């Protein structure tokens, strides 16, 4: 079984500060890992993904994440927060091996607040 743990249900940063959202996963197969962002009353938008290859992946809006197999982590970072980054962020791991395409297991989400 797969699982995802997101540390910190709420994170607050100042505008211009580093954003760090933590994600640890458990998977019995090589994982596909994703970060999604959700703005109020909207669906989920893909920020970035790791499947194979380079462990540092870059996404939209200046976000990036690094896959660290030894730490079973996939933390999301952005060097400088902007007010528009305020949203809820979800880390997810895909069970792509056992069939069913990309069945995702999500973390419980981290609400990011950006303050002036």
Partner 1 sequence: DAGITQSPRHKVTETGTPVTLRCHQTENHRYMYWYRQDPGHGLRLIHYSYGVKDTDKGEVSDGYSVSRSKTEDFLLTLESATSSQTSVYFCAISGTTEAFFGQGTRLTVV
Interface contacts to partner 1, rule CB under 8 A? 4, 9, 32, 34, 36, 41-46, 49, 51, 90, 92, 96, 99-109
Provide, rounded to whole angstroms, the least separation between the CB of residue 15 and partner 1. 27
Provide, rounded to whole angstroms, the least separation between the CB of residue 80 and partner 1. 26
Provide, rounded to whole angstroms, the least separation between the CB of residue 79 and partner 1. 24
Cβ closest to partner 1, residue 62 vs residue 109? 109
Task: Write the CA distances from 108 to 2, 6, 14, 24, 36, integer angstroms.
Answer: 14, 7, 23, 12, 12
Q: Of all residues in the chain, what percent are helix, strand and coil, respectively (each to 5)?
A: 5, 55, 40
CB 65 within 8 A of CB 89: no
Cβ closest to partner 1, residue 72 vs residue 106? 106
């Amino acid at each position: 079984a797969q699982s995802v743990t997101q540390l910190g249900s709420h994170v607050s940063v100042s505008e211009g500060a580093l954003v760090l959202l933590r994600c640890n996963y458990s998977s019995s197969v090589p994982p596909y890992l994703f970060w999604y962002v959700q703005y109020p009353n909207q669906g989920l938008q893909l920020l970035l993904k790791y499947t194979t290859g380079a462990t540092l992946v870059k996404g939209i809006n200046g976000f990036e994440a690094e896959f660290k197999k030894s730490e079973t982590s996939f933390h999301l970072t952005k060097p400088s927060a902007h007010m528009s980054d305020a949203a809820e962020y979800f880390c997810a791991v895909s069970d792509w091996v056992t069939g069913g395409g990309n069945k995702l297991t999500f973390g419980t989400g981290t609400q990011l607040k950006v303050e002036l």
